[in-house]
Structure 1
Amino acid sequence: MASTTSGDVLPTGGRIFTTIPDLFFIPEFVFGGLVWILVASTRVIPENPLGWVMFVSVFCFVGTTLWFFIFLCGGNQAGIWPSLDAGFHFLAVVFYLSASVDLAYITILSSVLRQFSPEALKNYRLDIAAVVMSFVATLLYFLHTIFSAIRWKRS
């Protein structure tokens, strides 16, 4: 897999599937979508922190989708795009890290406070899966941020 060098512009079209950090787009879709689906499929009593988790997962999913299509269609050729790429992914890391910590905290609280009926146990397991997927999404966005910042410094 080739990476962009200092003389190259940002990749467009099919080249985004072969360059780092753009290779992270697809796993970000998958794990971000899984967080969205898993959180939306459970019912937890303190809704407010889960509202933040839903906002972050939807915001990052839509933002990554837009970013992906901008790169795919070649709209990223102006000189400001490398810094915007690093900035967006840094914002996504901060958002996802805060959402992951909130989700983990609420999951721990819910395990202490509820009696485990079969339905509650199912929701608890879905919450645990959402926490894991959220931290994986955070890691993917973090790696994308690091490689985007390296590309930005080279440009």
Structure 2
Amino acid sequence: MASTTSGDVLPTGFRIFTSIPDLFFIPEFVFGGLVWILVASTRVLPDNPLGWVMFVSVFCFVFTTLWFFLFLCGANQSSIWPALDVGYHFLAAVFYLSASVDLAYITVLKGWGVTILSGGAVLQLALTGEALKIYRLDIAAVVMSYVATLLYFLHAIFSAIRWRKA
């Protein structure tokens, strides 16, 4: 399969602020960072699924930052970059979807007053005071996580369209 990708398929410099898939970089930063902040501001309890949510949010935030600066500096002019762009954003969408489902499940359990501790112990808490505040922060994190999932998915779709047109 011959590649007809020219060097100017992907935008560089400030032209990334005018191309449709690359406009999603800034909202991905914002919503991914909000997920990271909201989950980190609560007790990461239970640690296993919420640890995955933290990993996904930090990994995607850092990697999207690196990706953004590679595009901004113009280091994305090889013929492999359109495929890498699609692959990364699809992987990020899958990661965020799995983290969003985990976070939503844990938040629903907290809404019922159930907290699963390490080792499988179950703790029953009433939603008052601090527990209610954490529950509300978790709800906000779930919403931001699903928005970040949608943004990464849209970025992957539009990047795939751009790749196929090349």
Q: TM-score range by the shorter chain?
A: over 0.9
Q: Is the 2:44–2:51 contact (alpha carbons within 8 Å) kept by the matching residues of 1?
A: no
Q: Is the 1:90–1:142 contact (alpha carbons within 8 Å) kept by the matching residues of 2?
A: yes
Structural RMSD (CA): 1.1
Structure 1, unmatched stretches of 5+, are 1-5
Structure 2 match to 1:124: 135
Q: Rg larger in 1 or in 2?
A: 2
Structure 2 match to 1:50: 50
Report the CA distance between 1:46 and its aligned residue.
Answer: 1.1
Structure 2 match to 1:3: none
Give distance in 1, aligned partners of 2:128 and 2:109: 16
Report the CA distance between 1:153 and its aligned residue.
Answer: 0.7
Q: Detail structure 1 runs of 4+ shifted over 6 Å in the superposition.
A: none
- Asked if residue 137 in structure 1 is aligned to residue 152 in structure 2, the reply is no
The residue matched to 1:19 in structure 2 has which SS? Answer: coil
5 Å-filtered alignment, 1:1-155, equals 8-112=8-112, 113=114, 114-155=125-166
Give distance in 2, aligned partners of 1:34 and 1:45: 18
- Count of aligned pairs: 150
Report the CA distance between 1:47 and its aligned residue.
Answer: 1.1
Report the CA distance between 1:117 and its aligned residue.
Answer: 2.2
Q: Is the 1:31–1:136 contact (alpha carbons within 8 Å) kept by the matching residues of 2?
A: yes
The one-letter amino acid paired with 2:12 is T
Give distance in 2, aligned partners of 1:137 and 1:152: 22
Normalised by the size of structure 2, how large is the TM-score? 0.88
The residue matched to 1:79 in structure 2 has which SS? Answer: coil
Give distance in 1, aligned partners of 2:37 and 2:55: 12
The one-letter amino acid paired with 1:140 is L
Structure 2, unmatched stretches of 5+, are 115-124
The one-letter amino acid paired with 2:160 is A
Normalised by the size of structure 1, how large is the TM-score? 0.94
Q: List per-residue Cα deviations over 1:81-124 (Å, max 9, x = no partner).
A: 00000000000000000000000000001111220121110000
The one-letter amino acid paired with 1:149 is A
The residue matched to 2:42 in structure 1 has which SS? Answer: coil
Higher helix share: 1
Q: Is the 2:100–2:146 contact (alpha carbons within 8 Å) kept by the matching residues of 1?
A: yes
Percent identical across equivalent pairs? Answer: 79
The residue matched to 1:71 in structure 2 has which SS? Answer: helix
